[in-house]
Amino acid sequence: MAAKRKSPKTKLLGREAAIPESPDDAELDRIPNKNGDSKFTVRFTCPEFTTLCPITGQPDFAHFVLDYVPGDWLIESKSLKYFFSSFRNFGVFHEECTVLIAKRVKDDIMPIWLRLSGFWYPRGGMPIDVWYQTGLPPEDVFVPDPGVAPYRGRV
């Protein structure tokens, strides 16, 4: 019989929860990185992110690619999904939103390295792409290109 693994103390994993009203109300859970002796890259992709324009209240849409090299902690994916969802009724400019998300994740899990690529869909005829990165990635890990082509309209 296999030994039962002790689960980490998380606030959302395995529990029913409502989408937070705002990013300030969202909790980001973290779990211990049991492979701390190895450097590796983790990628989360959120291709259908939504928030609101703080001036008009109209929806804004983005495709986010979050890459990080963990230190002692990993992001618990359900809490990250809820964190992203907490922006649905929150008014914020594209640049501020991208940096806010990246800094929050960085502060909560303290990765060795982190990059958030934000590919915002056009409003007013112009897409806005925003990147936040904590520095150069470690030389001894593979960090793939975000893999999102520049916006070219309908093809």
pLDDT one-digit tens code per residue, 131-153:
999 999 999 999 999 999 877 77
The answer to whether residue 13 is domain-embedded is no
Residue 60 belongs to domain spanning:
25-133
The answer to whether residue 6 is domain-embedded is no
CATH number at residue 121: 3.30.1130.10
Confidence of residue 130 (pLDDT cuts 50, 70, 90): very high
Clarify whether 67 is annotated catalytic: no
Residue 6 above 50 pLDDT? no
Total domains present in the chain: 1
- Which of 41, 75, 80, 66 lies closest to 133, judged by CA? 66
The answer to whether residue 147 is domain-embedded is no
The answer to whether residue 8 is domain-embedded is no
Alpha helices in the chain (DSSP H): 77-85, 94-109
* Candidates 46, 60, 67, 97; catalytic one: 60
Residue at 106: amino acid letter:
K
Does residue 149 or residue 79 have the better pLDDT?
79
Clarify whether 37 is annotated catalytic: no
The answer to whether residue 46 is domain-embedded is yes
- The pLDDT of residue 98: 98
Indicate the pTM of the whole model.
Answer: 0.88
* Candidates 53, 67, 108, 129; catalytic one: 53
* C-alpha to C-alpha distance for 108 and 51, rounded to whole angstroms: 22
Are 122 and 154 in contact by the 8 Å Cβ rule? The answer is: no
Residue 1 above 80 pLDDT? no
The tens digit of pLDDT for each residue in 27-69 reads 999 999 999 999 999 999 999 999 999 999 999 999 999 999 9
